[in-house]
């Protein structure tokens, strides 16, 4: 047994032999201290020498169903469980009858090729004579492999398989697409888009207003019912389930209250507040509406960013915005959802105030040659105006900016000097060449 360093890893690796195997086993000890690494290496060698359990006849379908059952019983979000179940359906269709303990890399490679080049029929688009043909996207195949790897790791913990899943899982890389810039609507763009829907598609205008003034996700608005509006509390109960904080209460905006009152009047508690907005193309859809009013394209999730950006621009703390959006922390608000506009940057620069201007003093010292001469090395000193009320700094403020602005500068012909050192008792002066 030996310990060694490998690449840039901060941990020590170990190498040992197992009886009956010609090739050595190399594993990371997860320790940087040599004494602890040696103890970890001895434990790894002991575990590797233990006889493996006999293989079981459980199929890949059994393993996937068992893993999904354990996932649903854990704290995983409902959206995650649904996504994993959908991806596992394709795995069961192609690999369900395979024995999990005898699954090989070649069989998984064959599954990838079958998913990449197999053509499946999808719903016929509007106006098309034949059903459309669609292949599985690389990102979909990548997620299916993630589910398969997680299920095999779950099986290894229960000794259904004895191999390390990393040994048979191929590396499937997906070319990342250029992410579009995060979009949010200005108040002028929102007004133009709202007027467009109010004039042509009145049932879409309330959906737009609710999305921009509550910050709810598209799926949450589709499940938004009359019973979720509490006018007595002046709040909306958003019954989201994507994260732990998705089930939240959102105060009703003053602009939204009359609209919600008219939408909920005389309706049953289980009725939807607004009709669902799915798969709509043309001017009625959101991208088509943006094109009709002449603004950049926006999606339903951009309306959620609009809600966060409007609050951030009005000085609302990031923690409050994260709670209203249903986020665990403020990082997404800071990096993705919250955006500032040009007016916010202008207000930030306006805090600096006007730049001070040099002024001549009553007495100008002029020694040496005649002032009309321009070839002398004598200098004329012009004192800056003292720190007045507009440029004064209190004792507790930072004076670094004022030292830069009012610092003494000595400029001579063909030479840039540092001037004399300024102290608090010396009035800053600007020395100009004659």
61, 97 contact by CB (below 8 A): yes
295 within a domain of the structure (yes/no): yes
Going by C-beta distance under 8 Å and a sequence separation of 6 or more, which residues neighbour residue 327?
243, 245, 333
Q: Do 68 and 160 belong together in one domain?
A: yes
pLDDT reported for residue 358: 65
Supply 124's token pair: 């016929």
Task: Quote the CA–CA distance of 312 and 306 in Å, as a whole number.
Answer: 10
- Candidates 316, 318, 315; CA nearest to 332 is 318
User: How far is it, in rounded angstroms, from Cα 151 to Cα 87?
Assistant: 12
Per-residue model confidence (pLDDT) at position 179: 58
Note whether 191 and 80 are same-domain residues.
no
Interhelix angle for 78-95 vs 138-157, to 10°?
90
In a domain, 220, yes or no: yes
Residue 406 · residue 387 · CB < 8 Å: yes
Of 298, 328, 348, the residue that ends a domain is: 348
* 112/159 same-domain check: yes
Same domain, yes or no: 392 and 316: no
CA 67 vs. chain centroid, Å, equals 29
pLDDT band at 332 (very low <50, low <70, confident <90, very high): confident
Q: Which two tokens stand for residue 295?
A: 């603004």
Average pLDDT along the chain: 77
CA dihedral sign, ordered 323, 328, 333, 336 = negative
Claim to verify: residue 380 and residue 359 sit in the same structural domain:
yes
pLDDT computed for residue 170 by the predictor: 87
Whether residue 175 is contained in a domain is answered as no
What is each CA distance from 39 to 3, 25, 93, 315, in whole angstroms? Answer: 11, 16, 45, 55
Q: What is the structure's pLDDT at 16?
A: 86
DSSP label at 298? -
Tokens of 77: 């979000």
Q: How far is CA 1 from the centre of its chain?
A: 45
CA dist 410 and 335 (Å) reads: 45
| Same domain (yes/no): 120, 159 | yes
**Which pLDDT value is given to residue 53?**
53
Number of domains into which the chain is organized: 4
The better pLDDT of the pair 54, 181 is held by 181
- Looking at residue 260, its pLDDT comes to 92
Report the CATH number that the domain containing residue 121 is assigned in CATH: 1.10.150.130
**282/290 Cα distance (integer angstroms):** 10
Token digits of residue 327: 């986020």
C-alpha distances (whole Å) from 357 to each of 346, 391, 403 are 22, 11, 15
- Is residue 236 located within the same domain as residue 132? no
Taking the C-alpha atoms of residue 308 and residue 78, their distance in angstroms, rounded to an integer, is: 25
333 and 363 in one domain? Answer: no
Q: Are 401 and 392 in contact (CB under 8 A)?
A: no
Residues 195 and 314 in one domain: yes
* Last residue within a domain, chosen from 168, 201, 225: 168
Both 316 and 201 in one domain: the answer is: yes
Task: Tell me the pLDDT tens digit for each residue of 38-72.
Answer: 999 988 888 777 655 555 678 999 999 999 999 88
Mean pLDDT of 209-232: 92
Residues 213 and 262 in one domain: yes
Q: Are 115 and 94 in contact (CB under 8 A)?
A: yes
- Residues near 133 by beta carbon (within 8 Å), at least 6 away in sequence: 119, 120, 121, 122
Indicate whether 265 and 383 sit together in one domain: no
In sequence order, which residues have a C-beta less than 8 Å from that of residue 66 and are 6 or more positions away? 151, 154, 155
Say if residue 419's pLDDT is above 50.
no
- In which domain, by residue range, is 344 found? 187-348
Q: What is the pLDDT of residue 134?
A: 61
Examine the pLDDT at 411 and tell me if it is beyond 60.
no
**Among 123, 140, 168, residue at a domain's last position:** 168
- Cα 161 from Cα 58, distance rounded (Å): 9
Is the pLDDT at 130 greater than 60, yes or no? no
Please compute the mean of the pLDDT values over residues 246-275 and round it to a whole number: 91
Name residue 194's beta-bridge partners.
Answer: none
Residue 374 CA: distances (Å) to CA of 365, 368, 369, 430: 16, 12, 9, 18
State the pLDDT at residue 280. Answer: 63
- CA 246, 251, 252 angle in degrees (round to 5)? 120
Average pLDDT of span 400-429: 44
Residues 356-389: tens digit of each pLDDT: 666 665 544 544 455 444 444 444 343 434 434 4
| Terminal C-alpha separation, the chain | 82
pLDDT one-digit tens code per residue, 263-310: 999 899 999 999 888 766 667 888 888 999 999 988 888 999 999 999
């Amino acid at each position: 047994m030996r310990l060694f360093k490998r690449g840039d890893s901060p941990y020590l690796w170990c190498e040992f032999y197992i009886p009956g195997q010609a090739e050595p086993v190399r594993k990371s000890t997860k320790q940087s201290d040599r004494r602890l690494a040696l103890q970890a290496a001895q434990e790894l060698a002991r575990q590797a020498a233990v006889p493996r359990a006999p293989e079981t006849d459980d199929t890949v379908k059994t393993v996937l169903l068992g893993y999904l059952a354990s996932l649903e019983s854990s704290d995983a979000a409902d959206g995650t469980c649904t996504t994993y179940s959908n991806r596992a359906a394709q795995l069961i269709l192609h690999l369900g009858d395979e024995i999990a303990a005898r699954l090989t890399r070649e069989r998984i490679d064959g599954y990838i090729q079958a998913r990449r080049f197999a053509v499946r029929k999808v719903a016929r688009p509007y106006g098309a004579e034949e059903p459309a043909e669609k292949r599985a996207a690389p990102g979909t195949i990548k997620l299916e492999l993630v589910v398969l790897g997680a299920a095999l790791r779950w099986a290894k913990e229960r000794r259904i398989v004895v191999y390390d899943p990393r040994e048979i899982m191929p590396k499937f890389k997906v070319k990342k697409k250029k992410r579009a810039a995060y979009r949010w609507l200005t108040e002028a763009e929102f007004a133009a888009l709202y007027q467009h829907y109010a004039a042509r598609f009145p049932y879409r205008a309330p959906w737009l207003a609710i999305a921009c003034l509550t910050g709810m996700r598209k799926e949450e608005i589709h499940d938004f019912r009359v019973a979720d509006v509490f006018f007595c509390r002046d709040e909306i109960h958003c019954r989201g389930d994507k994260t732990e904080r998705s089930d939240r209460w959102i105060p009703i905006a003053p602009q939204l209250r009359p609209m919600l009152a008219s939408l909920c009047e005389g309706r049953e508690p289980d009725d939807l507040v607004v009709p669902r907005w799915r798969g709509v193309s043309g001017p009625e859809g959101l991208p088509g509406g943006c094109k009709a009013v002449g603004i950049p394209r926006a999606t339903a999730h951009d309306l959620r960013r609009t809600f966060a950006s409007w609050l951030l621009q009005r000085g609302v703390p990031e923690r409050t915005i994260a709670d209203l959006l249903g986020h665990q922390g403020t990082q997404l608000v800071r990096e993705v959802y919250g955006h500032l506009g040009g007016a916010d940057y202008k207000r930030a620069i306006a805090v600096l105030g006007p730049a001070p201007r040099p002024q001549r003093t009553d007495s100008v010292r002029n020694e040496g040659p005649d002032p009309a001469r321009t070839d002398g090395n004598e200098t004329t000193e012009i004192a800056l105006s003292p720190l007045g009320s507009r440029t004064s700094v209190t004792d507790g403020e930072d004076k670094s900016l004022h030292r830069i602005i009012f610092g003494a500068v000595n400029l001579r012909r063909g030479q840039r000097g540092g001037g004399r050192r300024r102290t608090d008792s010396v009035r800053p002066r600007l020395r100009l060449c004659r």
